[in-house]
Chain A
């Protein structure tokens, strides 16, 4: 598969993010498919950051670890990322003259040019933007338009200086040969990250309150929902802590609206008692965990799939729950709505797992995708003046374990939502027989949930693959690109993806093992948490495990190396 890989490296605060955003947005408008991600340290100024853009004429879903074009804003960043530059690649920089075998160099004294263009020293990033655009071989007008759109709020003087910087950068270098060898197609793609997709998914499915507390990498959802609340009229509340955020959501959901909470692992730790309360109250609750590597503060600005065990096993006591692993923009948008449908219908908590790499990577997605019909299923006993149910029916014993639930104040029946053990009418009980029955009723919902979960999805050939993988979360994205890469070579790679990771649908993985001879686990953590669950619940045994726990998402090369060693 053809792809062009661009990396822009610099100190945090040096303006490299703007270069990345301008370039990626402009390329998206040209009609290419792109995937971007940001590597950055947990500080505001200093340290190296890197903005990576992969471009293709076909849909792509993940990143390569290498670069064909490396833009270095300073020498330290250049040294940190130079080895990722491929042979024949182009280094674009504004520092001291420098030579290295096997690479091409496009250099200008960017600081001097920025100052001579009426700009400030920081505007050398705009000179670099112009240089990149020319090296890639695109028309100046396209980048000029992008810069104008992005800087529409600044004074004309500042805008002109920015444009002049871009222009001089553009004019100062030559277009590289042999890097770009495909044409854009006519597309109507939007460039969007997972945080926005989650936020829009929430808006689309009728979420009316968002409660949060800032924590990377979930803060993007809070920020974006606050930014658009003039249009959505949603209540977006930054609570005093995570316990409060989860309790407020529980209270709002109890009253009958839809409320979302997002956090990261550490914040979720604080919410776990509330999750347990929702379990016994049989109250809807949806919490999204934006995963980053732990334990402790861990790596706040990096990525992981390490909180699956947390999501499945957190909170005291036993109660049913659904755990959903998001993987990409489409999932992030659609499965938020599914999470609310499940939590309301089955009256039990739903945990959404996302990852820093999904929440912050911008990916081009067909605009039409967001027009799809959203299904709202609330499982409520509705209508005024209920004849049935009565107060006593709130925790009624039923075959499915699901009892009537209705909105407080809607009709003439009130009920007791009890966090203490209770019997059918909600009143406290300590009688052995009643405890046994109500406990069983609650746990029975797990069966109904399992029967109604959407099936896991196979990517690549259905059966008889040369090598196979099972996984969840963002692993899907790298797997999709790898499957395509090998298909071009005539090698059959397939991948079984679980979006609904808990409760585990055993049959899908058992069949996958029956139909494929070399099945491996791919997972972004040390223990192989999902693999352990699969093995212990189904008796299958993964041939090998591809595990990554260094803060980075899977690059396609990680899988290629694994396949070359363990597969074919």
Chain B
């Protein structure tokens, strides 16, 4: 597919990521997916967290917000609620999502807000020079844990799948084609689309470098008879974080209504909130 940088979300400022950082490929795949699904900088809103993923905020031409650490999901949810005609994409790292603000993730899944959420999982806090996150493998020697991480990591997909989500996928920053395909599905999903990106961090993540992933990665599409509407199959498949690490659409339930469609008083409303700001008489409430 021909890619037009100038029109399709562009790239204006010089990237500030380390050579070999997964963020380069992630942004390319994200731009590809959105463009091929018919989105452009005027109908897309990106909400960025703080951290290395957040430093993508001024590397993309579109409506962008660079918010607070751990809160991108909530700001994005507020944006998506106000104007669902725009595609809202939020990005956060593993530190933001599983330490600073896991409450937002839990409730965004439960509310099924109409947005696409990308978990940039590089298994560490890169921008603060490589501290362990809750997803760093046990034993990894990190900044501030020189003797090695002594806690078991959280299994992100197991956690998300336990919350009755409507869309859960995983992809890998070393495979642009796979990322693009997964992002396209996530963009199309009418609800909270959770996509974990296993992201290489050549500077700080020495425990699971690109080669480590490549040895272990398997694709769900190669599994015969895998049923992505079976949440128990998804939960089973997500268990293994060491040997066979699967990529693809783990779980999808398109029958679920998104947050806006669930609100009883807005069932028949045709307008969106940004179109409704005007004076209202209150005499009928007195």
Q: B-contacting residues of A (Cβ < 8 Å)? A: 190, 192, 196, 200, 203-206, 208-209, 211, 228-235, 237, 239-241, 243-244, 247-259, 273-274, 277, 281, 367, 370-371, 374, 376, 378, 407-409, 411-420, 422, 426-428
- Bound state CA distance, A255 and B274, in angstroms? 7
- Interface mask (B65-101 → A, CB under 8 Å = 1, otherwise 0): 1111001001111111111011000000000000001
User: Can you report 29 A-B residue pairs in the complex whose CB atoms are below 8 A from each other?
Assistant: A204-B281, A204-B282, A234-B265, A239-B74, A240-B103, A244-B71, A244-B104, A247-B67, A247-B74, A249-B78, A250-B67, A250-B75, A251-B80, A254-B65, A255-B78, A255-B274, A256-B83, A273-B68, A274-B68, A281-B65, A370-B282, A408-B86, A409-B85, A411-B42, A412-B42, A416-B66, A417-B64, A419-B50, A428-B13
In terms of DSSP, what is the predominant structure of the interface of chain A? mixed
Is B187's CB within 8 Å of the partner chain A?
no
Residue pair B276, A208 in contact (C-beta under 8 Å): yes
The docked-state distance in angstroms from the alpha carbon of A500 to that of B74 is 30
Which chain A positions have C-beta within 8 A of B276?
Answer: 206, 208, 233, 257
Which A residues touch B280, using CB under 8 A?
Answer: 203-204, 206, 232
Q: A370-B282, A418-B57 are known contacts. Are A255 and B79 too (CB-CB below 8 A)? A: yes
List A contacts of B86 (CB < 8 A).
255, 408-409
Q: Return B25 CB to nearest CB of chain A, in Å.
A: 22
Q: How far is the CA of A416 from the CA of B57 in the complex (A)?
A: 8
Q: Is B107 an interface residue (CB 8 A)?
A: yes
B21 nearest CB across to chain A (Å): 17
Residues of chain A within 8 A of B265, CB atoms compared: 229-230, 233-234
Closest 3 CB pairs of A and B: A251-B78, A248-B78, A247-B74
When distances are taken between beta carbons in the complex, the residues of chain B under 8 Å from A240 are 103-104, 106-107
Closest chain-B Cβ to A277's Cβ sits at a distance in Å of 5
B47 within 8 A of A: yes
Would B285 and A203 count as touching, CB distance under 8 A? yes
- Please give, as numbers and ranges, the residues of chain B lying within 8 Å of A370 by CB-CB distance: 282-283, 286
B83: chain A residues at CB < 8 Å are 255-257, 408-409
A418 touches B58 (CB 8 A): yes
Question: Which residues, 32 to 52 on B, are CB-close (under 8 Å) to A?
Answer: 41-43, 45, 47, 50
| Beta-carbon contact of A211 and B282 below 8 Å | no
A residues less than 8 Å from B62 (CB atoms):
414
The answer on a CB contact under 8 Å between B81 and A420 is no
A313 vs B46: C-alpha distance when bound (angstroms):
31
In the assembly, what is the distance between CA of A253 and CA of B283, in Å? Answer: 26
Cα distance, A232 to B263, chains bound together (Å) = 13
Q: Report the Cα distance A240→B80, complex, angstroms.
A: 17
Q: How far is the CA of A229 from the CA of B273 in the complex (A)?
A: 14
Contact for B269 among A233, A256, A420, CB less than 8 A: A233
Of the residues B12, B43, B45, B101, contact of A427 by C-beta under 8 Å? B12
B63 contacts chain A at the CB level, 8 A cutoff: yes
Task: List residues of chain B with CB within 8 A of the CB of A206.
Answer: 276-280
Chain B residues near A257: list those with CB within 8 A. 82-83, 273-274, 276-277
The listed residue (B68, B107, B274) touching A239 by CB distance below 8 A is B107
* Complex contact A251–B63 (CB within 8 A): no
Bound CA–CA A256/B276 (angstroms): 10
**Given known contacts A240-B106, A414-B62, A416-B57, is B78 in contact with A252 (CB within 8 Å)?**
yes
The verdict on A418 contacting B66 (CB below 8 Å), with A208-B273, A247-B75, A255-B45 known, is: yes
Distance between Cα atoms of A239 and B259 in the complex (Å): 13
Residues A409 and B63 in contact, CB atoms below 8 Å apart: yes
Query: Taking the complex as formed, is B266 at the interface, i.e. its CB lies under 8 A from any CB of chain A?
Result: yes
Interchain nearest-CB distance for A279 vs B (Å): 12
Report whether A419 and B103 are in contact in the complex, using a CB–CB cutoff of 8 Å.
Answer: no
Q: Is B61 an interface residue (CB 8 A)?
A: yes
Q: Of all chain A residues, which has the CB nearest B111?
A: A237
Asked whether, in the complex, the Cβ of B81 is within 8 Å of the Cβ of A248, the reply is yes
Q: Are A419 and B82 in contact (CB under 8 A)?
A: no
Q: CA–CA, A231 to B80, complex, Å? A: 23
Please name all residues of chain A whose beta carbon is closer than 8 Å to the beta carbon of B286 when the two chains form the complex: 190, 192, 367, 370
> In the complex where A239-B107, A370-B286, A408-B83 touch, is A248 in contact with B277 (Cβ < 8 A)?
no
How far does the alpha carbon of A257 sit from the alpha carbon of B80 in the complex, in Å?
11
Most B-side CB within 10 Å, residue of A209, A255, A273: A255
B255 close to chain A: CB less than 8 A = no
CB distance from A408 to the nearest CB of B (A): 4
For A203, A232, A250, A257, the residue with the greatest tally of chain B CB atoms inside 10 Å of its CB is A257
